[in-house]
Structure 1
Amino acid sequence: MEPDGSRIWIYVLLILVFALLKGVYTACEYAVTEVNDSKVKTLAETDPRYAKLLKLIEAPQKMMLAFSMQRALSCVMISILAVMLLDAVLDTRVELQLLHGGAAGWIRAGMLAGLLLVTTVLISSLTEQLPKRLVHRHIDGFAVGCVGAVRLLTWVLAPVALLAHGLTFVACKLCGLPTDDVRDSVTEEEIRMMVEAGNETGAIEESEREMINNIFDFGDTVVSEVMTHRTDIIGAELHAKIGDIVYLAINEGVSRIPVYEQTIDNIVGIVYVKDLLCLVGCEHCEDFTLEQFRRDALYMPETCKCREAFEQMTRAKQQMAVISDEYGGTAGIVTMEDLLEEIVGSIQDEYDDEASELEQLPDGGYSVDGAADPEDILPKLGVAVPEDNQYDTMSALMVDLLGRIPEKQERPAVEYQGLKLTVLQTEDNWISRIRVEQLRPAGEPTK
């Protein structure tokens, strides 16, 4: 019995050793991977301990492979030792030695299954979750202190890690899989899910969540959705007088004016108001023409993506681009500000009317800009946007509901999802202003 008793204690001691190693290196892995990288880079400039930690963080491949191998080896050794411990304990039980045949086998199998289950639970809780929670409170200090232990682990397991890496490389080649490290491959959908989770827990603010989602949507949005429509373009004829251009810039509050020849469909360039400042105090400014100040315009199709438009305008160092339709005419213009607003939201300057899209009237109704997006306006009025919505402007929605473009003097009205929409102003075959009245309380479902 003496040898058996000694063997049991040896197995117990070895299990505790491997469990302790696993717990320690789990804590090391958590500390090194979760420590604030920016803080480490800042402190590394003055503290050599953080400089050593920074080297580990900047080259994590070997370190992460060593952590993975250590976890696997510890779990395997603990499981093997647990089975050997069970055999040693059962060999000392006289009751089991009296059993013969299948009964003893079934009892051993049941006890083995129970032992493995208990071992798994203990490994998960004591060597995985507990070390992380203990380290979390002092993660910076532990990360700095464990650098030597991590280096030692990486050096000891280097041959095994190299062998495992080689086998993985061969297996990937045989299966036709990519051999590069896919650990950092994160899909757009996964990032969106993490952002939503962070927003729910309060780690990411609502404005930050919207901005991140807008960045992903930026590459899918076409410029025709954000451009200024041709009917709203403030432009000047090529042969207009300089004084008229100055008057137009002052009254409209614009700094860049598209210049067209005969018709808005033939935009031949852009005039920058700042280029006209050289004429201040000039007695013969009428002797100058717009042709002398006209800059070449940047053209792009209305199907161009916002990301592509942004890149083109950045390369060309242009703040404004002309959007052409499929027939070569002018569909509208887009500015760098229009594109940036798709990411950061509305940018109000000293010339913008902040409440122009939706204004509440004294009688309780609303005045809506015809160029406003229905997806922005309808929810504010308590109306759900249809899933099959195909309208970019309230004007387009109104024209579709009426079935025609109203004349300038007409004021037709139509009902839509509990709202009464009335045309207030029509300009150049474009409904520029709409009156909206709620026929039932906001939020009441449509029957």
Structure 2
Amino acid sequence: MSDIPTGVLFGILIGLIILSACFSGSETGMMALNRYRLRHLARSGHRGARMASSLLKKPDRLIGIILLGNNFVNIIASALATVIALRLGGEGAIAIATGILTLVVLIFAEVTPKTVAALYPERVAFPASFVLSVLLRIFYPLVWIVNGIANNLLRLLGVPIGRGTNEHLSQEELRTVVNEAGAMIPRRHQRMLLNILDLEKATVEDIMVPRNEIVGIDLEDDWETILEELKTSQYTRLPVYRGSIDDVQGVLHLRKVLSDALNGSFTRDDLLQRMREPYFIPEGTQLHTQLLNFQRNRRRNGLVVDEYGEILGLATLEDILEEIVGEFTTDPSANIKDVHRQKDGSYLAEGSASVRELNRLLDWDLPTNGPKTLNGVILEHLEYIPEPGTSLLVNGYPVTIVQTKDNRVKMAQIQPHRPRRARTKH
């Protein structure tokens, strides 16, 4: 080395620093790659992505070849800096050269390339993956030895080897990914994806029509009344019962019988023959499970029953789909037939209004971990049947009882905006 001119040594030293920067940047770039985007690009045929994905399957080998190359380059650079210092200033210049080299390596071979690689991982990692793959093949025996020693040391320390990291997203992590997708996913689509995740938090009781509001055909009515119900019903599938919904006989599809009912050729025997056996849903069934059950059984509605077989309400496929895609009107209060907006900004709500729908459509925060209707929430809060004019706070929302009927709250007025300080009075 004594025969090599000092200028050439400076050139070699600069080249080594550049190589060190390449190794440092490639390490950060490879580790900063988005694994899910990497898989997508690899499946799409991107060569750099496929090469990087292959290297990342064995991260210990990847890190091994990068660190071997980086340390080898840095050690040679340190030796060259010492030689140059001896030539230019003698032994007293070694300390100065060491300090300068440390600063240069830190700035130009560590911080700068790693910052660039962290900001643009694909631009750094994909080209680097081709070079690293070649180096790994050439120096594989050395990498294998180093990794073997390191892995055995980790085992002695009780660190498990070979399990790898769990790259599966949890539900909350997926929710975060959707929320932070920004312009890549339209806002409406984001809400739909989040609603799909929320299906596990809701059960059929949250979306069912209560039993006292079920519209159906009573076989004990006279035939003219039944025909009129068939002609004027706004629903396409009606439960058929005898006297009470508890004695349900089947479900009738109106589209299959409406033409006969209109031309007068439809009889009571035809009704009994054309109705389908009722479909029952156990209470507590989660919405995502029931959606699959509807698909599997080729059904669009079902009667929700408790553990004793008592009918609690009617759940439909349309109601579950609305939990995902939302309502089909832009006026929130128009989505709930039991809610009416007032001029002062308050809402008049029927006691039978679903708490879950009030929260979802009006962006409220009424409690949903108990009763499913507004009447149930009020009665649970007060623990008695209130008189008209009674006021209370439900989760900070001022509620005034407007009308009661048959031991239940028929109508209540709700102020949607929570006051900072409010008192509860009975």
TM-score range for the pair, normalised by the shorter chain length: 0.7 to 0.9
> Do the aligned partners of 2:389 and 2:402 also contact (CA within 8 Å) in 1?
yes
Deviation of 1:329 (Å): 0.3
Q: Which residue of 2 aligns with 1:211?
A: 192
1:92-171 superposed matches below 5 A = 93-94=89-90, 96=92, 119-130=105-116, 152=134, 156=138
Give the TM-score normalised by structure 1.
0.70
Matched, 1:263 2:241: no
- Counterpart among 172, 194, 208 of residue 189 in structure 1: 172
Q: CA deviation at 1:207?
A: 3.3
Of residues 378, 401, 405, the one that matches 1:422 is: 401
**Aligned pair 1:16/2:11, yes or no?**
no
Could you tell me which residue of structure 2 aligns to residue 346 of structure 1?
A: 327
TM-fit CA distance, 1:320: 0.7
CA distance in 2, matches of 1:231, 1:321: 15
Cα shift at 1:275: 2.3
1:61 to 29, 34, 54: 54
Judged with a 3 Å threshold, the aligned counterparts in structure 2 of structure 1 residues 305 and 94 are, in CA distance, closer, same or farther, namely same
CA distance in 2, matches of 1:376, 1:304: 18
> Distance between the aligned counterparts of 1:213 and 1:297, measured in 2?
32
Match of 1:444 in 2: 419
> Matches of 2:220 and 2:161 in 1, distance apart?
62
Measured at CA, do residues 20 and 55 of structure 1 come closer, stay the same or move farther in structure 2, by a change above 3 Å?
A: closer
Give the conservation status (yes or no) of the 8 Å contact 2:327–2:335: no
CA distance in 2, matches of 1:40, 1:123: 29
Distance 2:264 2:365 in 1: 59
Q: Report the 3-state secondary structure (helix = DSSP H, G, I; strand = E; otherwise coil) of the residue aligned with 1:285.
A: coil
The number of residue pairs the alignment matches comes to 411
Following superposition, the deviation at residue 445 of structure 1 comes to: 0.9
Instruction: Give the letter aligned to residue 375 of structure 2.
Output: S
Of 394-403 and 64-73, more deviation after overlay is shown by: 64-73
Question: Of the candidates 391, 397, 400, which is equivalent to residue 380 of structure 2?
Answer: 400
For structure 1, the 5+ residue unaligned runs are 45-50, 98-103
Deviation at 1:152, TM superposition (A): 4.5
Equivalent position amino acid for 2:373 in 1: T
Report the 3-state secondary structure (helix = DSSP H, G, I; strand = E; otherwise coil) of the residue aligned with 1:372: coil
CA deviation string 1:87-130 (max 9, x = no partner): 44565554638xxxxxx9xx69x957x86576345334432333
Report the CA distance between 1:335 and its aligned residue.
1.0
SS in 1 for 2:348: strand
Q: Structure 2: 5+ residue runs without aligned partners?
A: none
Deviates more, 1:225-234 or 1:11-20: 11-20
TM-score, length of structure 2 as denominator length: 0.73
Give per-residue Cα distances to partners, 1:116-168, cap 9 Å, x unaligned.
Answer: 576345334432333576787xx6xx96x889667646755666777788889
Of stretches 126-135 and 296-305 in structure 1, the one that deviates more from structure 2 is: 126-135
RMSD: 4.8
Structure 2 match to 1:48: none
The percent of aligned pairs where both chains have the same amino acid is 20
Query: Structure 1 residues 239 and 74 mapped into 2: Cα distance closer, same or farther (>3 Å)?
Result: farther
Tell me: CA distance 1:415–1:246, structure 2 relative to 1, closer, same or farther (3 Å).
Answer: same
